[in-house]
Amino acid sequence: MTEQWQRVHPASPFVRGWVAVVGLAYIYWQNTNELSLAERFSGERLRWTVVIGAGALLAVLIFYALSWYFTRYRITATHVYVNSGMIFRSQKQARIQNVQGIEVAQPLVARLLGLAELHFDVADGSESVLRLSFLRKAQAQELRALILDLAQGVDPGAVPAGEVPQNEAAQRAQAPAAEVLTAKVPHGRLLASLFLRMPTIIGVLSALTLGILALNGVQGVVAGLIPALLGFGGWFYKELNSSWNFSAAATDTGLRVSSGLADTRQQSIPAGRVQSIQISSPALWRLLGWYRVEVNALGVGSQEDAQNLLVLPVGDFEAVSRVMGILLPDLGVQNQREVLFTAVNSGAEHGFVVSPPRAKLFSPGAWKNQGFLVTDTTVIARYGWLGRVTAFTAHNRVQGMTLQQGPLERRRKLAGVRIYSAGGTVTGYLQQVDAQIAGKFFEEQSRRITGGQDLRGR
C-alpha cells in the first residue's frame, strides 16, 4: 500500500490546463486582427508579443508546477486521501470499506499522454467523493485493483510501502476473472440508432431547410443556422462519444461498462445500488427491435449533469434480457422473459392493467399501450404511443409516490400515479388508469413502503 504521501503524474496540470496556453494564442490573434499574416509574425509588435507571451506562459507554468507540487495522495488500509490546493487547501477522503466501484476515465489529452484518473464511487453518497487525477494508466489500474481488494477484505499481502503488486494487480484490473461479456454495441448499429432518433432527424431537416433558404437569398438565415448546427453537433458528439466502443460485462457484484471515443471510461455498477431501470424504444427503433437502458443508481458516477446512468445505448431484446438478468434478476414472476417482452412493447397479457377506453380522449394514440403490473418484487409501468418507455422499480426501492387526478380525469373516473426512486430521474408513470385501481395501488404500495403487508394490486 502507498502509506506514504505520493504525488500525481507531473503532466497532470496540462491535461485540462492546455486551454490557458491556447487562450494566450487566441488573445494575440484577436489583438492583431487588423494585420496581415506576414505582419503578425514580424516587426516590433511580434517582439513585444513574444516577450509578454513568454512571461505569461512562464507564470502559467509556475502555477501548474505549484498545483502539481501541492496535489498528493495516500492509500492506507482504511482510507484513500487526496490533498490539493495552494492557497486554499483541501483534503478529501473516502473510506475504503464503503467503496462500491472505481471508474477509470481518460479524457482525450490524458489518453494522448498515457494518463488516467480514478473516480471513487462510495456507498454513502450519490456522487463520487473524490477523484485522483492523473496517474499513468497502468498505475491507475493497479491502484484500482488494490483498493477494490481492500474494500472486499482481501489481504494484499506483504507489499513494501509505496509499491503495488504490479503483475497480479494489473491482470485483475484489465481482465477480472469473473467478467463475462453481456452486451456489445457495434459501430454501425450505434450510428444508425443516432440517425434514427428524433433530435437528429429534426436537426438534419432544419439544417437542410435553412441551407436552402440561405441559397435562395433569404436574409438572416445564416445567423440562425450556425447556433442550430452547434447545438445539434454538440448533442450528437456527446451521444457518440459516450456510447462508442460500448461494452457491458457481468461481474461478481453487477455490471461493468466501458465506452468512449475521445474520452474513455470504465465503470462498475453494483446491482445492489440500482434503484430503478428504464427501457425506452423511440418510434423508429421499434421497427428494428432496438432498446435503450438507463438506471437510477446510488453512489455510482459523478452524475454532474444530472442524467441517468446509461447501461446500454442501443441493443436488441436479447441484450436487454441479459442486462436485466444482472441488474434485476427477480421480476417476481415465473415467466420472466415473456413478461419482460410485454413490458417493453405493448399488450395486456400476463396480468398487465391497461387504461380503460374512456382514457382515449386524453391519450388518443397511447391509451391502449399505457399499463402497469405489480409483481411480488417489482412495479412495472409502461407508457408512450409511437415510442415506448417502461420503468421497473423494486418495492423496496420506492422512495415516494404521487396520486394525480385532474378535473377532467375526475369526471371520467381516471387517475394516475407517479413512482419515485433515488439516484436519478427515472420515474414510473401509471397513466390514466381507473381511479379505483389507482387508489387501491396507491394504498397497497404505501403499505409496502412502510413495511406493511405485502399485497399484490389486482
HSE-CB of 266 using CA atoms within 13 angstroms: 16
Look at residue 343 and give its three-state secondary structure: helix
List of residues 6+ apart from 218 with CB closer than 8 A: none
Q: Give me the pLDDT at residue 103, please.
A: 86
Contact 119, 144 (CB under 8 A): no
- In angstroms, the CA 405 to CA 398 distance is 21
C-alpha distances (whole Å) from 427 to each of 156, 391, 400, 424 are: 42, 7, 10, 9
> Which residues of the chain fall short of a pLDDT of 50?
126-128, 158-177, 303-306, 452-458
DSSP 285-324: HHTTT-EEEEEEETTSS--TT-PPEEEEEEE-HHHHHHHH
Residue in this structure with the C-alpha cell 472486499, named with its chain if needed: 152
- In angstroms, the CA 326 to CA 255 distance is 7
Q: Give me the pLDDT at residue 457, please.
A: 39
Contact 263, 106 (CB under 8 A): yes
Averaged pLDDT score across all residues of the chain? 83
What is the model's pTM? 0.78
75, three cell numbers: 492509500
Q: Residue 391's closest CA among 305, 308, 272, 299?
A: 308
Q: Give me the pLDDT at residue 233, please.
A: 84
Residue 182 CB-density burial (10 A; 0-12 exposed, 13-18 middle, 19+ buried): buried
Residue 5 CB-density burial (10 A; 0-12 exposed, 13-18 middle, 19+ buried): exposed
DSSP state of 38: H
- In angstroms, the CA 169 to CA 149 distance is 9
- Cα-flanking dihedrals φ and ψ of residue 207, to 5°? -65, -40
Across-strand partners of 416?
404
Contact 229, 206 (CB under 8 A): no
